[in-house]
Structure 1
Amino acid sequence: MLSLSRGQHVLRFSLKSQKHHLILNPSIQLFSTSAALKSNRPPSQSPTNTKKDHGQSKTTTPTVTGTATKVDTPGPHEINAPTSTFPADLARPPPLPPSTPTLSKLTHYLAIGKAFLAFYKTGLKNSFYNYRAALPLRKELGLPSYIPSSPSTIADKHIGRGQFQLVRRSARDVRRLIPFFMVLIVCGEFTPLLIPIFGSTITPATCRIPSQVHDERNAASKRKTLALQALGTSVQGNELETLLRISHPDWVRAADSKGVLSACAVLGLVKRHDRFAGALLTGPVYRPRLNRYLEYLAVDDALIRNGGGVKELSPNEVMFALDERGASDVAVGYPSESKADVARREWLMRWLELRGKQEKSLKTKTV
């Protein structure tokens, strides 16, 4: 019994000492040996989410081979990015009744902290392996391997939307990976208490808990409302028509600094439409940023059409597309998620239809 106890102590110490090298050294065991023994599963295997997204042509959840996680790179005809670009499921312990003893409550809170810690570790690993899976695509697009820049165009490259989104999302997340990893090292299970302070500034999308995603969408909706009110009579019509109008290159070219900042706020490119010194920075910063983003949306629109249309998008991808187009609140108040998904898809299909007409008129003008 003595030797077994020592062995267990050494194992715990070994796992703890490897905690800080989880991301930088993929050859280290990724899961606890004790957890694997409880589930009769080798330490190198991980549970996968068996829930299938609508329109997903093949499984793109992270798989485990040996001791390294592998993300399946989408094919050129796939419209959905790997599911590893979204947050994993957060397995929180069930709530306790009010009559629970204090000691049990403390144990419960510790279990919640460990659940969050496991969630964040999974998100960080996914961010790292997503970027590694995107490296061949970055080379194909002529992007630097070790500078996480996000492409806005694909020129004449023959890649699908799933591949394009993998490149963009992996670059977005890896820019936040190091600062978030440092917070996780220092704070451990207490990281969720600090996330509201930093928000999405340092948090990769793969590490955003459901409540954080919900709060960000609420904030985006309020920001959009204020920005559209600031535009006033300069932009008229229903919300979809308004979003299409401020997404037109001609409107952006003619808009004043107030209009440009409001459009940036609607699309989530700035936090406020009335930023300090916004008028001075419109020319060198905000107008070029808005033009690049609209160029990206035009590419994404085309890739959705060419990839089979909205019906081929998974529910998560539909929600992601609406977030990027300033319409995250389209289905707020619907009685069920299925009906909300239908409403989102209808909105996105209408957007693609009207945007396609805009692009045709622009091409006609240039000719």
Structure 2
Amino acid sequence: MASIRTQRARVSHLTAQFPRLILTTPFLQQTYRYRFQHQLRASHDGKSHNRPPSTNPSEDVNPPPSTRPAEIETPAPLGPSASAGDKAKQLLAYGRAYLAFYKSGVKNVYHNYRASLPIRRSLGIQSFIPKTPPPKAFLKIGRGNGNQLKIKTSRSTFQLVHRAAYDARRMIPFTIVLIVCGEFTPLIVYALGNSITPFTCRIPKQIERHRKDMAENKSAALKAHAQASGGSATASTPEAGTEEELHLLSVFARPDFAREASAGDILTACAVFGLVESSYSYESLVEPLYRKRLARHAEYLAVDDKMIKSCGGVTAMDSAEVRIAVQERGGFGLPTGSSAFEAEMVERKWLNMWLKKSQPETALLEVGEVNLASSTGNT
């Protein structure tokens, strides 16, 4: 993974590149040039299944690395005989390293959002409000018979816009914490969790803690769901990564499930996808909050599934992107194997299995809010 210094250089030309592209090229050509130039600046870590950027816009499946956390350059560990002074200096060095990491993450949030503004304007999305764009903004009905859905952009562009909006909403509270707390920010962030932290500013321990918590919440939610469905306190739950569990998760991700399911099932699905902290949340919040949240997530997954299929598939995805995609689909708690490579192979296999079950065209056409007929003028 790239260092902080590399991450800074990677995004330094984004805001300078985009205005020229907008003034000189149509949208589709402009986004292709952006993707290609940006990916050329992005270095890959050389680990399993990370590959050079593609020059084919239909295979542009990976968003810019600046949308993910950079690597933290921490000092070397001290030996057991280190003095108290050396330990104090190392703690200070750790604080400075984390502070530099957070500053780099905040800069990436700013530059990513600036880079997303021309795309949002071209798609007819509000530019100055960091709101997650609706799926219909990235889709159109193709020419010919029937409602054949086509995508307007690549997954790289889609994820850049989506993640830039997600991080921008957390920019103000996190920046305040960073200014007030300085080197002590990791302690505050670790206590408050992801609610105020942009994704680009999440340290490895915070990410791992979130994965562990979500895996536990998912297991508890599926266990309660199995007991309620089977009418028995001893009902078994499907193991993580099995075909049975994958089928259940794919049902939870259908738009018609979000519309018609009971309040208890909505909370279960939200817990599985990490949309709530626990499946034991208040059912009174289902109608005003959680049902809509699950419906939006189902639409997002349908669009992302279609773009993965259209832009090169799982084999073209970086390992970091595969892990993010798996977790967004409820794939917490998968077997890790004895090495990082084996864990990645499990995740790639699971994501391929998910995509075989996914029917994004049917899912999106079932959603009443996605009025694709309004997009026919853009074909």
TM-score band, normalised by shorter chain: 0.7 to 0.9
Q: Which runs of 5+ in 2 are unaligned?
A: 1-11, 17-40, 141-150, 231-236, 239-243, 369-379
For residue 285 of structure 1, give the secondary structure of its aligned residue in structure 2.
helix
2: CA distance, partners of 1:192 / 1:242: 37
Aligned to 1:68: none
2: CA distance, partners of 1:99 / 1:135: 53
Query: 8 Å contact 2:302–2:363 — kept in the other structure?
Result: no
2: CA distance, partners of 1:88 / 1:245: 35
For residue 132 of structure 1, give the secondary structure of its aligned residue in structure 2.
helix
2: CA distance, partners of 1:122 / 1:320: 21
Q: In percent, how many aligned pairs have the same letter?
A: 41
1:355 aligns with 2:358: yes
Aligned residue among 219, 223, 238 for 2:217: 223
Larger radius of gyration: 1
After TM superposition, the structure 1 stretch with the greater mean CA deviation from structure 2, 49-58 or 254-263, is 49-58
**Structure of higher RCO (CA pairs closer than 8 Å, 6+ residues apart):** 2
Aligned to 1:141: 123
For residue 91 of structure 1, give the secondary structure of its aligned residue in structure 2.
coil
1:188 aligns with 2:182: yes
For residue 81 of structure 1, give the secondary structure of its aligned residue in structure 2.
coil
Q: What TM-score, normalized by structure 1, do the two folds share?
A: 0.77
Q: 1:76 to 1:202 in 2, by over 3 A?
A: farther
Q: Which runs of 5+ in 1 are unaligned?
A: 1-22, 28-46, 60-73
Aligned residue among 238, 245, 248 for 1:239: 245
1: CA distance, partners of 2:256 / 2:116: 34
Query: 8 Å contact 1:301–1:352 — kept in the other structure?
Result: yes
The offset of 1:362, in angstroms, is 9.3
Aligned to 1:167: 161
Q: What's the CA shift string for 1:273-327, capped at 9, x where partnerless?
A: 1113x2x222232212211110110000000000111000000000000110010
2: CA distance, partners of 1:75 / 1:149: 26
The offset of 1:242, in angstroms, is 1.2
For residue 308 of structure 1, give the secondary structure of its aligned residue in structure 2.
coil
- The number of residue pairs the alignment matches comes to 304
For residue 198 of structure 1, give the secondary structure of its aligned residue in structure 2.
helix
Query: 8 Å contact 1:174–1:204 — kept in the other structure?
Result: yes
RMSD, aligned CA: 2.7
1:121 aligns with 2:116: no
Q: Which amino acid aligns with 1:177?
A: M
Q: 1:362 to 1:109 in 2, by over 3 A?
A: closer
Which contiguous aligned blocks of 4+ residues in structure 1 show a shift greater than 6 angstroms?
361-364
Superposition pairs of residues 257-296 of structure 1, within 5 angstroms: 257-276=263-282, 278=283, 280-296=284-300
Query: 8 Å contact 1:319–1:328 — kept in the other structure?
Result: no
Aligned to 2:53: 58
Q: 1:232 to 1:86 in 2, by over 3 A?
A: same
Query: 8 Å contact 1:76–1:162 — kept in the other structure?
Result: no
The offset of 1:331, in angstroms, is 3.3
Aligned to 2:22: none
